[in-house]
Amino acid sequence: MILGVMGGVGEYFVTDPNLIRLGYLIILLVTGVLPGLIAYFVAAIIIPEAPLLTPSEPDTAHDAETV
């Protein structure tokens, strides 16, 4: 929700981002807060941003037929 890292990870793995956030929070508290925060901001820098869809570009990912 801050930089969209967990939402992007959830989208990549096709799962609920809230589950990813909950898992991250548990790992954050178990391993120590500072390493988890550093990892979060490193991931925010490394993970590429999703391309923005313009109104003239339809989202064809959901329209593809499976054979």
Q: Does residue 63 have a pLDDT over 80?
A: no
Separation between Cα atoms, residue 67 and residue 61, nearest integer Å = 14
Residue 28, Cβ density class (10 Å: 0-12 exposed, 13-18 middle, ≥19 buried): middle
pTM value is 0.66
Amino acid identity at 56: S
- Tell me, what's the pLDDT at 51? 76
Predicted confidence (pLDDT) per residue in 3-55, tens digit: 888 988 888 899 999 999 999 999 999 988 998 899 899 999 998 887 777 66
For residue 63, the 8-state DSSP code is: T
